[in-house]
């Protein structure tokens, strides 16, 4: 845990950023925040998950003479950040209830001998007087992480946080800075008051996580939802993901369904024992478990940078929570996916939660805003960011609305049907019953209430049950219906609906998104079965090496290097120590520790590439003798897809004159047709997906070789 000796000669934020963390430039706002802290002024920092909050207090902490105290709410969060600091050679420790007497004594000794730079502490320990040996003069800087917990409006309310203002009085000469990834204006004001910050400056970074794609799937039957999820996950066989559920029961049921489909998934919720929760979390962090189905209790304490996707199995209760949860994807800056599923059932369930809680009016308003986001008909990112007071000048181009703009139509007649039917039931029915009436259902409940006798019974039978539910949600958003939370969640017709019923006002609705495609879940293919580019193969080798080194060191793989650093390594392909230092995310400490292993792996890969020419030559000789690709594969003990790849390359190089007998003209036409739709034309998987898996990988490879040789590939914009 010893602090790196060379830190004593580093006296600028830039030198620490490069030599310790391995980055050449600060992200927006970081340098300004660091200067503010170094000037010993209080502040409030709002920066999205993955935006680089930690660097903002870690660099000043290294530059201050004394100890930096980091107040953190979760044991797992402390452990993760302390391990990350140690991985960069920085002396750090945590002090919480998980430590034994000997470990507590070791931490105390480090502080008393001035050998510790960062001490992570829970609010309970600080407020409860659990650190009597910590002297006022030991501390140079106090950072309050996850500061939204301070606020009475915060979504992770912790009573001890509201007493942290006592610490502001104790360390009156130190800068106090609060950090959070999400807080609306009310919460920001409350944080400042609860911490008694002195003339603080508020820094608000952009909340726009451009690398996250945003997608919403409304009103989907459970069977279709599970099928779509399985297909989605199977297309990403090596990618970690989180699925958030509303209830503990749902996390377990969903994990069972995914396991039955052959997916490595585990459930996580607060009802499990501490040992079970810890094991699930450790396995996920260490890439041993691919998917975790969890309640919102999971994720806050995880700094895992390579979560590639986040799904919401149900509607979140507010935008703050949703934003924070999707923010756990793509923390390394690489492209990542988010998918939100929701139904009217979720809205009813969340409304019941609100009825049982305090601040009903506020929480209902927040739920309404969440629903507006889910039902958005304009760029989804614009709607999301506007909640935090940030406004985009143009559409994002990375959400489902931008990709497939909804089609509007005159829905006045449908609106009149729904509104009239509700009125004729004396506004006593909820969404499902109203839809059953409109569709002319003969179920027992409809007949028992004699709803089959009203004039509007069956007037909307031409519209599917799912579509009607989708339209009713839109009518709620239009303010024509409102949910009566205190009357069995029945639908009440609002005053605004009067003009619609009288034909004085038209209603524009959007068509329901297409049902989940009928394609079957894809079979998971091994790395050898899928056609990969040389760079993808090298990335896999570096990832395997990273896992080996992490296992030996008993740390998470991403704490060796994150995926973004490995990708940069693949692009640069360093062969010397000096060149290795040029890789983004490689500081001197990690370079000294890992350069030998990674340079050796890259060098070995490059040598194997040089041997490729010989292996191509052998394939050509056997093919020229009349052997089929399958026979060549058997003879050479290789995958047949590898042989097809050889033949494609030989054709492009001019060493094979024709592809006759290897591919049908129809397959070439199919690949040619989707060329404009596929952005990454050097990868086969996007073509495979664009062609609905109807053309095998080896035929796509051959077709692309034909199009490349004919010059068609270059001419496609």
b/e burial code for range 144-158 (CB count within 10 A of at least 16 → b): bbbbbbbbebbbbeb
For residue 422, which of 191, 414, 134 has the smallest C-alpha distance? 414
Position with higher pLDDT, 200 vs 73: 200
For residue 538, which of 631, 608, 481, 439 has the smallest C-alpha distance? 608
> Are both 237 and 99 inside the same structural domain?
no
Q: Which of 145-159, 392-406, 438-452, 514-528 has the lowest mean pLDDT?
A: 514-528
Q: Is the pLDDT of residue 153 over 60?
A: no
Domain of residue 576, CATH code: 1.10.150.80
CB 561 within 8 A of CB 586: yes
pLDDT in tens, 427-458: 999 888 999 999 999 888 889 999 999 999 99
The tokens 């709620």 sit on which residue? 476
Total tally of structural domains belonging to the chain: 4
Token duo for residue 391: 């406004």
> Are both 119 and 242 inside the same structural domain?
no
Q: What is the 3-state secondary structure (H, E, C) of 588-615?
A: HHHHHHHHHHHHHHHHHHHHHHHCHHHH
Helix (H, G, I), strand (E, B) or coil at 632: helix
> Are both 174 and 265 inside the same structural domain?
no
**53 is in which domain, residue-wise?**
5-204
Domain of residue 453, CATH code: 1.10.10.10
Q: Supply the pLDDT for residue 552.
A: 92
> Are both 395 and 447 inside the same structural domain?
no
> Are both 360 and 341 inside the same structural domain?
yes
CB 590 within 8 A of CB 572: no
Q: Supply the pLDDT for residue 527.
A: 38
Q: What is the mean pLDDT of the chain?
A: 86
Long-range contacts of 22-26 (CB under 8 A, 24+ apart): 22/565, 22/581, 22/583, 22/584, 22/585, 22/586, 22/587, 22/590, 22/591, 23/584, 23/585, 24/584, 26/55
Measured between alpha carbons, how far is 333 from 345 in angstroms, rounded to an integer? Answer: 34
In a domain, 275, yes or no: yes
> Are both 426 and 476 inside the same structural domain?
yes
Measured between alpha carbons, how far is 520 from 601 in angstroms, rounded to an integer? Answer: 38
Domain of residue 234, CATH code: 3.40.50.300
H or E element at residue 311: strand 307-312
In a domain, 627, yes or no: no
pLDDT in tens, 91-116: 999 988 888 889 989 999 999 899 99
> Are both 483 and 590 inside the same structural domain?
no
Helix (H, G, I), strand (E, B) or coil at 246: coil
In a domain, 652, yes or no: no
Helix (H, G, I), strand (E, B) or coil at 300: coil
Position with higher pLDDT, 692 vs 101: 101
Q: Supply the pLDDT for residue 3.
A: 43
> Are both 308 and 180 inside the same structural domain?
no
The alpha-carbon radius of gyration of the chain (Å, integer) is 29
Last residue of a domain, one of 145, 178, 204: 204
Burial of 494 (0-12, 13-18, 19+ CB in 10 A): middle
In a domain, 460, yes or no: yes
Q: Is the pLDDT of residue 40 over 90?
A: yes
Q: Is the pLDDT of residue 657 over 90?
A: no
- For residue 494, CA distances in Å to 360, 361, 435, 483 come to 20, 18, 18, 10
> Are both 332 and 357 inside the same structural domain?
yes
Q: Pairing relation of β-strands 508-510 and 408-410?
A: antiparallel
Token duo for residue 218: 């409304």
Query: What average pLDDT does this structure show over 199-216?
Result: 92
In a domain, 254, yes or no: yes
In a domain, 629, yes or no: no
Last residue of a domain, one of 510, 545, 562: 510
pLDDT in tens, 310-369: 999 999 999 988 998 998 999 888 899 999 999 888 888 888 888 877 778 888 888 888
For residue 466, which of 429, 430, 432, 417 has the smallest C-alpha distance? 432
H or E element at residue 548: helix 534-553
CA dihedral defined by 507, 511, 512, 517, rounded to 10 degrees? 180
pLDDT in tens, 472-527: 988 887 889 887 767 777 899 999 899 999 999 999 998 876 644 333 343 444 43
Q: Is the pTM of this model over 0.85?
A: no
Query: What is the number of alpha carbons within 13 Å of residue 62 lying toward its C-beta?
Result: 30
pLDDT in tens, 178-200: 998 877 777 888 889 889 999 99
Q: Is the pLDDT of residue 154 over 70?
A: no
- For residue 180, CA distances in Å to 72, 202, 298 come to 11, 11, 17
> Are both 120 and 235 inside the same structural domain?
no
Q: Supply the pLDDT for residue 6.
A: 40
Q: What is the pLDDT confidence band of residue 8, given thresholds at 50, 70 and 90?
A: very low
Last residue of a domain, one of 403, 418, 434: 403
Q: Supply the pLDDT for residue 158.
A: 63
If you ran DSSP here, which 8-state letter would residue 399 be given? Answer: B
For residue 10, which of 120, 90, 110, 113 has the smallest C-alpha distance? 90
> Are both 416 and 476 inside the same structural domain?
yes
Q: Is the pLDDT of residue 634 over 60?
A: yes
Q: What is the pLDDT confidence band of residue 560, given thresholds at 50, 70 and 90?
A: very high
The tokens 């989708």 sit on which residue? 470
In a domain, 526, yes or no: no
In a domain, 563, yes or no: yes
> Are both 28 and 174 inside the same structural domain?
yes
Q: Supply the pLDDT for residue 361.
A: 80
């Amino acid at each position: 845990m010893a602090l790196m000796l060379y830190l004593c000669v580093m006296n600028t934020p830039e030198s620490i950023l490069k030599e310790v963390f391995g980055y050449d430039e600060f992200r927006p706002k970081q340098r300004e925040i660091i200067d503010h802290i170094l000037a010993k002024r209080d502040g409030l920092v709002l920066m999205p998950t993955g935006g680089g909050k930690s660097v903002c207090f870690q660099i000043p902490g290294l530059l201050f003479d004394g100890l930096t105290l980091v107040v953190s709410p979760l044991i797992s969060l402390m452990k993760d950040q302390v391990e990350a600091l140690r991985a960069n050679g920085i002396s750090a420790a945590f002090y919480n209830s998980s430590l034994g007497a000997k470990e507590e004594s070791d931490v105390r000794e480090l502080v008393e001998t001035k050998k510790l730079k960062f001490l992570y502490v829970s609010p309970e320990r600080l407020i409860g007087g659990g650190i009597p040996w910590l002297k006022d003069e030991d501390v140079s800087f106090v950072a309050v992480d996850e500061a939204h917990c301070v606020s009475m409006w915060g979504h992770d309310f912790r009573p001890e946080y509201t007493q942290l203002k006592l610490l502001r009085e104790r360390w009156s000469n130190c800068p106090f800075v609060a950090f959070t990834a999400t807080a609306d204006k009310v919460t920001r004001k409350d944080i400042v008051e609860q911490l008694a910050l002195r003339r603080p400056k508020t820094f608000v970074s952009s909340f726009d996580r451009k690398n996250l794609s945003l997608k919403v799937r409304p009103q989907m039957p459970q069977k279709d939802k599970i099928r779509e999820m399985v297909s989605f996950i199977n297309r990403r066989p090596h990618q970690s993901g989180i699925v958030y559920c509303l209830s503990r029961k749902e996390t377990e049921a969903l994990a069972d369904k995914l396991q039955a489909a052959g997916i490595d998934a585990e459930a996580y919720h607060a009802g499990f024992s501490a040992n079970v929760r810890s094991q699930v979390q450790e396995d996920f962090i260490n890439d041993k478990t691919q998917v975790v189905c969890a309640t919102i209790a999971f994720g806050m304490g995880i700094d895992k940078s390579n979560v590639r996707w986040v799904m919401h199995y149900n509607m979140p209760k507010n935008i703050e929570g949703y934003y924070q949860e999707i923010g756990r994807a793509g923390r390394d800056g690489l492209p990542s996916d988010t998918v939100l599923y929701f139904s009217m059932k979720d809205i009813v369930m969340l409304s019941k939660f609100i009825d049982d809680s305090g601040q009903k009016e506020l929480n209902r308003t927040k739920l309404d805003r969440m629903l507006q986001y889910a039902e958005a008909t304009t760029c989804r990112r614009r709607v999301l960011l506007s909640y935090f007071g940030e406004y985009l000048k143009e559409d994002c181009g990375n959400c489902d609305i931008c990709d497939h703009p909804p089609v509007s139509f005159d829905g006045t007649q449908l609106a009149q049907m729904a509104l009239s039917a509700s009125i004729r039931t004396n506004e006593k029915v909820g969404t499902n019953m109203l839809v059953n009436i409109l569709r002319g259902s003969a179920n027992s409940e409809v007949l028992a209430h004699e709803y089959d006798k009203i004039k509007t019974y069956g007037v909307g039978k031409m519209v599917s049950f799912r579509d009607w539910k989708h339209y009713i949600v839109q009518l709620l958003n239009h303010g024509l219906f409102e949910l009566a939370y205190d009357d069995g969640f029945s639908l009440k017709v609002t005053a605004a609906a009067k003009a619609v019923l009288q034909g004085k006002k038209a209603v524009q609705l959007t068509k329901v998104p297409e049902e989940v495609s009928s394609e079957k879940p894809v079979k998971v293919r091994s790395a050898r079965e899928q056609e990969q580019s040389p760079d993808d193969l090298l990335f896999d080798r570096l990832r395997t090496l990273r896992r080996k080194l992490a296992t030996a060191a008993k740390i998470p793989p991403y704490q060796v290097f994150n995926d973004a650093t490995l990708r940069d390594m693949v692009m640069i392909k360093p062969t010397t120590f000096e060149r290795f230092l040029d890789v983004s995310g490689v500081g001197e400490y990690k370079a000294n520790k890992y350069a030998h292993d990674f340079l050796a792996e890259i060098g070995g890969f490059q040598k194997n590439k040089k041997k490729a020419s010989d292996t191509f030559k052998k394939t050509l000789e056997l093919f020229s003798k009349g052997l089929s690709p399958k026979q060549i594969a058997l003879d050479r003990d290789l995958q047949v897809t590898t042989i097809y790849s050889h033949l494609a390359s030989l054709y492009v190089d001019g060493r094979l004159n024709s592809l006759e007998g290897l591919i049908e003209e129809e397959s070439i036409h199919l690949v040619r047709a989707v060329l404009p739709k596929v952005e990454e034309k050097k990868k086969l998987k996007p073509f495979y997906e664009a062609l609905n898996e109807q053309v095998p990988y080896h035929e796509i490879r051959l077709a692309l070789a034909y199009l490349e040789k004919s010059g068609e590939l270059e001419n496609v914009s």
